[in-house]
């Protein structure tokens, strides 16, 4: 058992289960909790919770003794030259750091059905669920950190609070540091907070990415209905998958596909398939045909991801643009599978996919994350 000195003296007020339990014990109605969250969201730099209006006196004493508005601190923010991407470095209460990335997409720059799309700038927040990651994917910088700790649900939500200082967030993707389904309880609790008052993010605008943790996929729809599921498949067969994703040995491809089939038959949700393009490894036309046969009974959108070299230690190379186009042509043209190529954002601030890793103690970050071209467009 951990000693009392290793436990934080104050919890995040966004640790929903804990704050609800404390309110219940004190005989305070939980209906006040969203009001507290709204206050912090509107006053992200507040040092205490004494300014929350219209609470019972007992609530102020409880909040003062046990909670902080946020337990994490925004220590740095880097903006890309084109201003489409902002990368946030956030220090946690335990001294570790994580990154969150805001990506802005102007819907008016795209077309749908031959016409200019209506709307304007939409912001997506890519959040982290762990410090480091156990999965050890060989093409991902986060894997080089190893696993350090799980984030609490409050620390996950606080990334949204920090990001709200820079942009009005419309979409959330769990594609940052860590394997979200390996921090399942905190993930579920955080999403339940983010999709309720005062955040009110639509479940349809929340996407969780996983390498394929089968036992968590089996309960995903029950716990998180209407939330999008993205699967980091990255290979059309088990051998290649194990070569580039060592953790895949624990999740055989056949069993993973069975779990996804069961999930889709119940949820009726489109599954997003993420596929990183590695030169000579998984990017040949034969691999495209194999992938299509694997997915032929599913309703999916395949997102092809240009590989971002993560430094001199990388053993992989980026697929040529020609190979990416050929691969996409097989999926789209022959098999009719909707396929997109990920738009890379924030590369000049190391804010592109697969590079996310925090470099400490000098506070410089060597990574970030990116997303499907724009998550809303993939639902059309």
Q: Which of 133, 137, 292, 353 is catalytic?
A: 353
Is the torsion defined by CA of 36, 104, 201, 232 positive or negative? Answer: negative
Q: Is-catalytic flag, 79?
A: no
Asked whether 123 and 168 are in contact (CB, 8 A), the reply is yes
User: CA of 205: how far to CAs of 117, 122, 173, 261, 293, in Å?
Assistant: 18, 11, 8, 22, 29
Asked whether 198 and 163 are in contact (CB, 8 A), the reply is no
Asked whether 344 and 353 are in contact (CB, 8 A), the reply is yes
SS3 173: strand
Q: How far apart are CA 316 and CA 139, in angstroms?
A: 7
Buried b (16+ CB within 10 A) or exposed e, 85-118: bbbbbbbbbbebbbbbbbbbbebeeeeeeeeebe
Q: Is-catalytic flag, 274?
A: no
Q: Which residue has the tokens 């998550």?
A: 375
Q: Which of 96, 99, 179, 274 is catalytic?
A: 99
Residues with a known catalytic role: 99, 353
């Amino acid at each position: 058992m951990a000693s009392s000195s290793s436990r934080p003296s104050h919890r995040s007020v966004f640790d929903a289960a804990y704050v609800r339990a404390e309110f219940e014990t004190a005989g305070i109605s939980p209906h006040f909790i969203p009001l507290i969250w709204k206050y912090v969201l509107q006053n992200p730099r507040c040092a205490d919770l004494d300014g929350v209006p219209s609470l019972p006196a007992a609530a102020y004493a409880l909040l003062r003794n046990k909670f902080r508005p946020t337990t994490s601190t925004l220590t740095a923010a880097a903006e890309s030259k084109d201003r489409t991407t902002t990368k946030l470095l956030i220090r946690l209460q335990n001294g570790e750091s994580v990154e969150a990335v805001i990506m802005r997409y102007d819907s008016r720059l795209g077309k749908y059905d031959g016409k200019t799309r209506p709307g304007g700038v939409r912001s997506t927040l890519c959040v982290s669920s762990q410090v480091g990651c156990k999965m050890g994917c060989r093409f991902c910088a986060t894997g080089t950190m190893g696993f350090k700790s799980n984030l609490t649900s409050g620390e996950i939500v606080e990334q949204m609070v920090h990001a709200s200082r820079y942009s009005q967030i419309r979409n959330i993707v769990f594609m940052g540091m860590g394997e979200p389904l390996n921090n399942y309880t905190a993930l579920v609790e955080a999403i339940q907070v983010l999709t309720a008052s005062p955040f009110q993010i639509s479940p349809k605008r929340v996407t969780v990415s996983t390498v394929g943790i089968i036992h968590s996929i089996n309960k995903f729809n029950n716990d998180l209905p209407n939330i999008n599921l993205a699967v980091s498949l990255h290979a059309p067969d088990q051998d290649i998958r194990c070569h580039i994703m060592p953790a895949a040995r624990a999740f055989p491809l056949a069993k993973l596909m069975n779990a996804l089939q069961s999930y889709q038959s119940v949820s009726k949700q489109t599954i997003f398939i993420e596929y990183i393009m590695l030169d000579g490894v998984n990017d040949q036309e034969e691999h495209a045909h194999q992938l299509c046969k694997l997915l032929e009974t599913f309703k999916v959108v395949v997102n092809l991801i240009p590989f971002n070299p993560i430094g001199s230690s990388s053993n992989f190379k980026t697929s040529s643009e020609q190979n990416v186009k050929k691969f996409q042509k097989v999926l789209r043209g022959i098999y009719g599978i909707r396929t997109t190529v990920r738009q890379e954002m924030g590369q000049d601030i190391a804010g592109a996919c697969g590079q996310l890793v925090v470099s400490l103690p000098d506070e410089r970050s060597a990574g970030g994350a990116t997303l499907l071209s724009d998550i809303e467009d993939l639902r059309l």
